[in-house]
Structures are given as C-alpha cells and as structure tokens.
Structure 1
Amino acid sequence: MQSDPELVTGDAVVLELRLARLASRALAFAIDIVVQAVVLLLIVLVITLAGVHDQALEIALSLTALVLVRVGYPVLFETLSGGRTLGKIMFGLRVVRDDGGPIRFRHALSRGLAGAIVDFGPAPVWSVVALVVSLCSAKSKRVGDYLAGTVVIQERADEVDAPLIVMPPALTYWAAQLELSGLSDELALASRQYLARYQQMRPEARDALGSELVNEMAGQITAPWWSPEVPPWAYLMAVLAERRNRIAGLPYGPFQRPS
C-alpha cells in the first residue's frame, strides 16, 4: 500500500489514506465475479424452470438479468455498505471519494456503469482496460474511479490501530443529552478512522478533516459545534463514546487525547 500525496480534502489539504494494492483489488473483484455468476446462474435456472418456451423472450430475460446483476450488484452493495462489495469486505477495502469522504449512490452508479461498459466490458479479456488504466494511475484508479471521482483504500482493521474511545469529562453532561438516532454508521466509522490516524496525519490535514467530520456529524445529530475551544477530536470522541455507551452499557472512561 501507499500514501498518495495527491489525495486531498475539499479544502485542498493533504489527506493521508492507505491506497489499496492492485493485487488485493483484483482478488476482491474475482470474488465479486464469482458471486455475480452464481446469482446469474440462479436467475437463469428460475427462468428455465418457469417454462418460458419463447426463445426470444428467454434471451431477452437472460440479457436483462445479466445487465441487472453486472451493474446492480456493485451499485447496490457500494451504496448500502458505504463503498464495499462482498469481495471488498473480505479484503478490507472501501471505495471513498477523492477527498476521503463516503460515496453516494451517484458515485456507485458511475463506477458500476463504467465497470460494465468500459473497464471490464462484456468479456473477461476486456479487463485489460481496467488493468492498464490502473497501472498508469498514481492512485491505481480505473476508468470508473476517474468518472466517479473515487479511489479504493485499504481499511483492514488490523492494519490501523483502533482508537481508544473515552468520554471527555467536560463533555459528559452535554453528550448525555444528545439524540444519536440520526448518526449513520458510515460517519461513525469515518470518525473512528480519523481518530485512529490522528497522530499520523499532517496538522493542516487533520484540522480540516476534523472540522468537516464535526460539521457533518452536527448536522446528523442536530448538535452544533458550539465552542472553538473544543477541538474537533474531542467533539467526535464525546459523540462516539456516548453512542458506544448507549449501545453496550459501558461505563465512562478517563479523558485521554487520541494517540
């Protein structure tokens, strides 16, 4: 893996993320292809067992199923799981925006369509397009990534130290009043990863990204960032600690700066 100095946030500051290796992406893709093949085979079997005797209709249904599986599978999984398919989950990979933020449906759709039409095409040999483009890209991007403005990163938990999430004592009462039902799992994960990499990031990068995460989190939980004296990492730490405590019933821990 590598850290790409050109991966920047919307404020044009460097964000250090671990780019996925081409080999791990290829293996993840192979697993996804196997899953898609199994799903497609089951659909064709259902069509056959349904007793469709019109050959033209059978071909049309099969082609429709092929398109839906080939495009729908990555779009559905990457949208619902925040940038991951089954293959990516197995290898600890995730698709994120160029600025490090979580992808949306439009990003997943752009990648899915480009993957089916350009990168991998109608035949396995067509995968050479994705391979060549990825090898020529400093960020191992394929055509779909360029069109969607995304990049694939490595986020395997055992390769990034898990942050120690504890409740800042000064924010205990404030956090207890929060309504956290609107906090998404994707934003909570992004915040945990930010805290895990806090000491490894450049000061300007971590300040900018921390502010972005706080502003997005404040919008989801309707709790504005009320004081500039409270650093972004403390705000995020308090919210994540309160969320964890409500889910697991854990006691509050002593206040510590992320390390």
Structure 2
Amino acid sequence: MVFTVRVSLALGPAPVPSSATGLVTAEAVALDLRPARLGSRAIALMIDILVQAALAGVLMLVAGVIMAVLPEKLVDDALSATVWRVLVVAVLLAYPTIVETRTNGRSVGKTAMGLRVIREDGGPIGVRQAFTRALIGFTLEWPGLLLPFLTWAGSLAIMIGSDRGRRLGDLAAGTLVVHERRPLPFRYVPGMPADLAPWAAAADLSAVDDELAGAVRHYLSRAQELAEPASSALLQSLAVEVGARVTPPPPSGTPPWLFLCAVLAERRRRYAAQLAAGRLVTERLLPGFGRRPLYPSIPPVRRAAPSS
C-alpha cells in the first residue's frame, strides 16, 4: 500500500510548466528553464576573473623561471613579448574554451552561481560555441581589446535589452545562460484542526514513520494542484494507510483531510517539544554548549604595579 501511495503522488497530474526561455526541443518539448540575468552573471564573471588572475600568476611564475634558466643570449624583448602574448591568449581564450567545453558550459563562476551555458535548442555546447563565446569576450566584451569602453557599454546594453539576458557572445554562438537551480515555491501546510486537538494529543502516532508523514505533507501542500479524481483517490489512500497506524481512530465522521492535517500537526508539535526538552537537558548539563556568545569575552585588564 505504501508503494501505491508514493507512485500516485509522484505521477499525479500537475500543471504544465511554461518555458521561461521559450526553448522547444526537436521532440516538441518545452524546456522550463530560467534565463540568467545581469546580476548573477556579473558575480559569476567576477569569480572567473579571480580564477583567471590566479592562473595568469602561476603561468607567469613558471614562464619567469623558465626564462631565467635559458641562456641570456636567447632571452630578449621579442621573446618576452611573445611569451606575454601567449599567456594572454592561453588565459583569456584557451582557458574558458577548454573549461566550458569539458564541463558542458559550467565555468568555476557559473558553477558557484548555479548557471550553465546551453545551445538555443537546449543541448550542451561544444568547442565551436565555447570558442566563439570566448573570442567575442576576448575582443569585444571582457577584457575587450577592441575599443574597450565603447564595446563594454554596447555589450551591457544588449544584455539588459535582451529578453533572455543574452550577451554578444551568446548571440554569435547561438547560446544562452540558464539557472540550473530553481527556487522552491512556498507550499502551505494546514495546521491543527481545533476540534481534533484533544484526540491528537492522546493518540499513538509512533507507527507513522517519517516516510509516510512526508508523503502526507507533500500531498497536503500541493493538493490544490492535483486534478480530480486523482486527488480524492490519493486522499483516501493516505487516510486509510495512516488510519491503520494510528490508535485510537479519530472521532466518527472526521473528514479524511482534517484527519491527515491533525496527524501531521501533532507529529510536528511532539517533535518540537522533544527538541526543546533535549535543549533544556543539554543546557543543564553543559551550560552554553553549542551557542556562540553575542559579544566575545574581553580578558580583564590588570592594573600595573606601582613603580618603586
């Protein structure tokens, strides 16, 4: 019976999500993805810049050691300029291309911010898309070697004006940046029905385990999203299963919905009471354990001994 409840809850009808990015795959499936905007992308870029700066420092250190070992007649201004250009290309062009290709569009900054680069059709990017994005950024956006201030302003205006937050590199490569992490919507769970509070306080709920209580909580939080008759069938299944584990049974004529609300609210109340009692015992045995002082203690200042 538990298996049936879980399957019904997982496969219950839900509202069809709308694609925030407007992406539709070749199988005519709308992708419910949230495009990344200027704020999250700017923070990801700052993290990537710090990583690239660290990488550039390491490469410059290695290059300096190698050039120090070479004979003096081989080290001249032309070699130094060539090494510098190679380092710039490696850090600003090769590094982002390799990283985004190997990680399917997740640089260090994007990973920290929960972002990913994908193609316009929703697929993972390849070497061509990653190289195009890095090349446009290298020449026009960041650091933008061609007319830096003018191209920066133009790139920023394009990103702000884009309905999907795309920059010049995304437009040229046919990509966009989306959020991998989706915010969990707030779901209201009903509280204790007043008429059932005395019965619930005396009922034995020890047989209602966390897994079954989680299924009840999930149903109560999204019952309004389920269509009939699936919602009523699932409600009856949960009420029968929970009723078989609760003694004594609820008062005669109690609606299944109120019965489940009472059981869930009482479990929550008992858990909070147990947690509070445990904290009291801990405080009694180990005062201050697990708490950080609001203000750090300052050692007393000793008065200097009078000089003779």
TM-score normalised by the chain length of structure 1: 0.56
1:13 shift after superposition: 5.8
Residue pairs, 1:49-88, within 5 angstroms: 49-50=65-66, 51=68, 53-88=75-110
Letter in 1 for 2:101: T
1:122 shift after superposition: 2.5
1:130 shift after superposition: 2.6
**Counterpart position of 2:176:** 151
Residue pairs, 1:125-204, within 5 angstroms: 125=149, 126-156=151-181, 159=183
Identify the match of residue 35 of structure 1 among 44, 51, 58: 51
CA distance in 2, matches of 1:116, 1:97: 20
CA distance in 2, matches of 1:30, 1:5: 25
CA distance in 2, matches of 1:115, 1:74: 10
Q: Is the 8 A contact 1:5 1:14 kept in 2?
A: no
Structure with bigger gyration radius: 2
Residues 160 and 107 of structure 1: CA distance in aligned 2, closer, same or farther (over 3 Å)? farther
Identify the match of residue 137 of structure 2 among 105, 115, 124: 115
CA distance in 2, matches of 1:133, 1:3: 22
CA distance in 1, matches of 2:184, 2:79: 51
List runs of 5+ in structure 2 lacking aligned partners: 1-17, 186-224, 226-308
Q: Deviations over 1:94-138 (max 9, x none)?
A: 001112111111111111111111222138745333312101211
Letter in 2 for 1:122: L
Q: Is the 8 A contact 1:3 1:19 kept in 2?
A: no
Residues 160 and 71 of structure 1: CA distance in aligned 2, closer, same or farther (over 3 Å)? farther
1:149 shift after superposition: 0.8
CA distance in 2, matches of 1:84, 1:160: 22
SS of the residue aligned with 1:83? coil
**Counterpart position of 2:281:** none
List runs of 5+ in structure 1 lacking aligned partners: 162-199, 201-259
CA distance in 1, matches of 2:140, 2:183: 33
Percent identity reads: 41
Letter in 2 for 1:116: F
CA distance in 2, matches of 1:160, 1:3: 17
1:82 shift after superposition: 0.7
SS of the residue aligned with 1:117? helix
Deviation above 6 Å: which 4+ runs of structure 1?
Answer: none
Residues 151 and 5 of structure 1: CA distance in aligned 2, closer, same or farther (over 3 Å)? closer
Residues 12 and 116 of structure 1: CA distance in aligned 2, closer, same or farther (over 3 Å)? farther
